[in-house]
């Protein structure tokens, strides 16, 4: 007769796997000596995703790896940042508007410089509007992929660049997924 493992054993094994993956990733944190100006220096950190803001791509409880050297993101990148209203909190959102661009949200579409974005990764179209706003230098407009259930720029405003921790490059638990390849395009590219 075989003995069944209970949920306690599964949870323990899961935490052990997370710890081992974290240790392996931690070993990669610096490829060069601390303080070195080497271009091969790699600086990584990890975060646990909280909430539903980034569903369907990222869910609460997922663990992600963040490249702290990428603090000037491009459109479509998922980033980790210190929440401007309480810098003790780290949020994860997608970059939508870049410095110098006009952002508008209307009729369920996001417009950058009056061109609608194709966003195949969102949970649903936004059910709110955002008046045209030009993103100033040193700031970004960020949104959660779960547009209608996200605490993001449409609620609290623009994200100062100095609050950016880095770009999310990988979801490593519970299932590996590269996030660097996910991008957004404007609808002109799809015509």
Would you state the pLDDT for residue 25?
52
Mean pLDDT score, 165-183 = 77
**Domain at 122, CATH number:** 2.10.109.10
Report yes or no on 76 lying in a domain.
yes
Please, is 121 exposed, middle or buried when counting C-beta atoms within 10 Å of its C-beta (0-12, 13-18, 19+)?
middle
On whether the pTM is more than 0.85, the answer is no
Q: By mean pLDDT, which of 11-15, 16-20, 29-33 is the weakest?
A: 29-33
Which residues, listed in sequence order, are joined to residue 90 by a DSSP beta bridge?
82
Report yes or no on 12 lying in a domain.
no
Report yes or no on 126 lying in a domain.
yes
pLDDT category at 173 given cuts 50, 70, 90 is confident
Report yes or no on 18 lying in a domain.
no
Report yes or no on 31 lying in a domain.
no
Would you state the pLDDT for residue 125?
97
Domain that holds residue 179: 43-184
Report yes or no on 176 lying in a domain.
yes
Q: Using an 8 Å Cβ cutoff, are 63 and 49 in contact? A: yes
How many folded domains does the chain comprise?
1
Would you state the pLDDT for residue 61?
93
Report yes or no on 171 lying in a domain.
yes
Q: Using CA atoms, how far apart are residues 90 and 83, in angstroms rounded to an integer?
A: 6
pLDDT of 29 strictly over 50:
no
Encode burial over 83-109: b for 16+ CB neighbours within 10 A, e otherwise. Answer: ebeeeeebbbbbbbbbeebebbbeeee
Residue 19 CB neighbour total at 10 angstroms: 10
Whole-angstrom Cα Rg for the chain: 19
Instruction: Tell me 10's DSSP state.
Output: H
Instruction: Tell me 113's DSSP state.
Output: T
Report yes or no on 191 lying in a domain.
no
């Amino acid at each position: 007769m075989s003995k069944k493992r209970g949920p306690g054993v599964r949870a323990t094994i899961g935490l052990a796997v997370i710890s081992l993956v974290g240790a392996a990733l931690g070993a990669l944190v610096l490829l060069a000596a601390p303080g070195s100006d080497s271009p091969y220096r790699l600086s990584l950190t990890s975060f646990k995703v909280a909430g539903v803001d980034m569903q369907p791509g990222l869910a609460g409880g997922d663990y992600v790896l963040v490249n702290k050297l990428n603090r000037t993101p491009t459109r479509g990148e998922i980033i980790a940042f210190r929440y401007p209203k309480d810098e003790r909190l780290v949020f994860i959102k997608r970059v939508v508007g870049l410095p110098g661009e006009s952002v508008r949200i209307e009729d369920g579409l996001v417009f950058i410089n009056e061109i609608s974005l194709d966003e195949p990764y969102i949970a649903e179209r936004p059910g709110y509007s955002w008046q045209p706003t030009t993103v100033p230098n040193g700031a970004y407009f960020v949104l959660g992929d779960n547009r209608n259930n996200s605490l993001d720029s449409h609620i609290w405003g623009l994200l100062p660049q100095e609050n950016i921790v880095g770009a999310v490059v990988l979801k490593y638990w519970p299932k590996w997924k590269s996030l660097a390849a996910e991008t957004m395009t404007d609808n002109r590219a799809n015509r």
